[in-house]
Structure 1
């Protein structure tokens, strides 16, 4: 369904991002009479910046797109965000969209509005649909079969720009001066951080809110006080937990007195936490170009499934029964089975860009019934590059629960822990998960609800960056 392009609001968001990056890099917004050498922001819109080349294609653009581009600023050698360099030049708009099999009438429908930075091979950018007035991040040209599979969700441009701005405002992405160096990639003036203090505090608030919701529903029994640390520093050392998000979270998260924080998932004891299934695994060469291989953190099992449920053996990271990829199929040796539960695992193992990434691993597969889905609407096990309805091809998978799927705003990564905790809290508040003397009831079998007609909606995280 077509939506209206709120070109005025989109231009405000675009220009706000541009100005934050400009100032964050040490430059000035306006001319400074005391420093005539200062780099100032020349306020030229897209048409003014590209001149005759832009005017030549004005008639191929919708009136609302023209209105946006007449308000959106463009500057030299300055990325708008970590993931996009800026508004595409007139000769780039349709460069990657002529081979899509569109009719002559639809040849101008899809085009690249923002060019991607060098975060992928064969980069493309944010693709815009002039008919539907919606957009989706197509990091690489090879993502096109997914974004055009007739199922992938596209979003209003203001939603995408708002997501990029939110990453800046919470400190996930930050503008810095040219003298700042980072171990991962930098797209001037932007860097991406493994996590920010704001993200850490948001996750702690969500965690403690979940504990309060569970505790308030436990029948009246003698309640010992909560302990101030979920896992103390000495035990984190024993478990070989590197400095970073996980260590900070575990140091500041309280230990509740009840046992189950989710169906069949236990609050870790110090002994069980130190028995990390991946801590003794040898790391092979992750990448010859990895800048900081010594900082790579193995997946950390936080909430273990009771009774030590384990997933099937998978030496190559592929489930032989379903053909689906299991998590943690890294170039490691020595791990053949592992306990089910919630793991904390960075999705970008070289750059450590999402240290708050999480993945729930089940001891059984779900998805074949066709109800379980990721945040982008994809069913578990489907081939996202095929067009049309694929309900008859659903498969059971072990580790797709709560995952975002194809991310329409930025590069794909594992779901953030805070999003999972918020959804668990909602399950408690709505009564979908019941609480007893030991915490959340239901056992590990409760998770099969995620592939049922009645329960699947309670197991899908809202799409986000």
Structure 2
């Protein structure tokens, strides 16, 4: 099975791609079915059984007698995949959040085909203009106008509740797959504004295997579960933090810095102090193991707190009782790196309305900040570890950066999915093109956006590990107006002498045409 994997459980990016995906080529039915069936085998093993005992049947064997009306609507490669792929037992899910391959009646009942048929001639031609770039032999008998998009994996409704769930949809013309979480995103998918990527089906299946490799998804009592506090989250965050700190310290030394004479090993939070605090597993492990930098500013305008100050913030951000365990604490967002320059705008006391400048949704209400931090201002700007009280927590190392100013007025700043929040107003740019203005936001910088990621994870706050990797890159390359001085991570733009320091570097650059791309973190 290893020869079918793209990355493999011990894959390293330094070693190159183990087994590349076949982009632009017809669906490899045998390979995808092998990946599909092996994922089921891993589920059997985690549940204490094997495929011989479970005796799974193929989708074709289960539904073949009722396929007379459906088989003509499927590309031969898709049909071959369905002949080889196993189906889950009744009442069991194929994978976390994924029910499995739909029944014949539900293969095309995804709403995408209807939306595609409803396009105007111009929009239809625009969507299909790149079809010739994919050298896929589409049988003449296949009606691609009505049956172009087939649902190969159906999501469970509980994981994508905003509107009816869909799943992994496969384009039978381009032979590429895409995650469609719910019907609400179909207009974006069809009209060209979709921010989710089409990819090969083997890439989707391999990404699910990787989640099992990293124990991010586990199977307990016969049920696939997302591990919100997986060890890989902690390992990734600590590794990225150590790389960032070491990189900045080395650059300071290379600049003849004289502030790094103290070689005493220290951590962000003194373990003895942490022993008396109520902390979740991730927060305790990260803060007591992450080494303390020998400099004060970890990023422009963001200050590393003392251990005592961090302990005070932890106490303010934790709501607990005597029966709470380390993984059941109701922890509010924790201010990790404060931005002292917080006097530019008054901060209203209502967290949600000040954060989003609109009526908060139910999910936003799950993230109240500790109100006794910076009481007079409402809450302090800075980098926060996200709340652990949310039932939607996907990654333990999630964060939000709250800025003392809004971004978006210039229309360039973007999240990972290349969106910001689109406002209702329109404006004409310097070239005379009409476009939507982006709404100003305090808290969207370095976030992933609304799209689910390549492995099907739902929307979630950004991850510390990816943020630290981005900061390291910005310091190394001078990207986004950053540089490392003899003292700390600061920055400079323009000519010599035209220095902008502190949080103003981000304000100046993140929403600029020249440097907005440097403020996007990876998926």
TM-score range, shorter chain: 0.7 to 0.9
The match for 1:457 is 517
Q: Kindly state the Cα deviation for residue 228 of structure 1 after the two structures are TM-superposed.
A: 3.3
The match for 2:46 is 24
Which whole-Å CA distance do the structure 1 matches of 2:291 and 2:246 have between them?
11
Deviations 1:397-425 (A, max 9, x none): 11111111111422111111111111111
Which whole-Å CA distance do the structure 2 matches of 1:278 and 1:171 have between them?
31
Aligned mate of 1:419, from 466, 486, 499: 466
Gaps of 5+ in 1: 31-38, 179-187, 284-291, 384-388
Gaps of 5+ in 2: 1-22, 119-142, 321-325, 372-376, 425-432, 492-501
Correspondence 1:66-465 to 2 at 5 A? 66-77=79-90, 78-97=92-111, 99-100=114-115, 102-103=117-118, 106-117=145-156, 118-121=158-161, 122-152=164-194, 153-156=196-199, 157-176=201-220, 178=221, 188-218=222-252, 219-220=255-256, 221=258, 222-236=260-274, 240-276=277-313, 279=316, 295-308=329-342, 312-313=347-348, 315=350, 317-319=352-354, 323=358, 329-330=365-366, 332=368, 335=371, 337-346=378-387, 349-350=390-391, 352-381=393-422, 391-405=435-449, 406-408=451-453, 409-432=456-479, 433-442=482-491, 443-448=502-507, 449-463=509-523
Q: Secondary structure at the match of 2:452?
A: coil
Give the 3 Å change call, closer, same or farther, for CA 427–62 of structure 1 in structure 2: same
Give the 3 Å change call, closer, same or farther, for CA 307–365 of structure 1 in structure 2: closer
Tell me the TM-score normalized by structure 2: 0.74
Deviations 1:190-228 (A, max 9, x none): 111122223311221111011111011003215212533
Q: Kindly state the Cα deviation for residue 364 of structure 1 after the two structures are TM-superposed.
A: 0.8
Which whole-Å CA distance do the structure 2 matches of 1:318 and 1:90 have between them?
46
Q: Give me the CA root mean square deviation.
A: 3.2
Give the 3 Å change call, closer, same or farther, for CA 241–305 of structure 1 in structure 2: farther
Which whole-Å CA distance do the structure 1 matches of 2:359 and 2:442 have between them?
8
The match for 1:386 is none
Q: Secondary structure at the match of 2:147?
A: coil
Give the 3 Å change call, closer, same or farther, for CA 231–126 of structure 1 in structure 2: same
Corresponding residue pairs, total: 430
- Asked whether the equivalents of residues 450 and 459 of structure 1 are also in contact (C-alpha less than 8 Å), the reply is yes
* 2:73 maps to 1:60: yes
Give the 3 Å change call, closer, same or farther, for CA 270–458 of structure 1 in structure 2: same
Which whole-Å CA distance do the structure 2 matches of 1:61 and 1:348 have between them?
45
- Asked whether the equivalents of residues 372 and 379 of structure 1 are also in contact (C-alpha less than 8 Å), the reply is yes
- Asked whether the equivalents of residues 280 and 327 of structure 2 are also in contact (C-alpha less than 8 Å), the reply is no
Q: Kindly state the Cα deviation for residue 62 of structure 1 after the two structures are TM-superposed.
A: 1.9
Which whole-Å CA distance do the structure 2 matches of 1:200 and 1:277 have between them?
18
Bigger relative contact order (CA 8 A; separation at least 6): 1
The match for 2:36 is 14
Whose helix fraction is larger, Structure 1's or Structure 2's? 2
Deviations 1:213-252 (A, max 9, x none): 10110032152125332112344466x5522212111111
Deviations 1:57-79 (A, max 9, x none): 12211233223323322231432
- Asked whether the equivalents of residues 278 and 299 of structure 1 are also in contact (C-alpha less than 8 Å), the reply is no
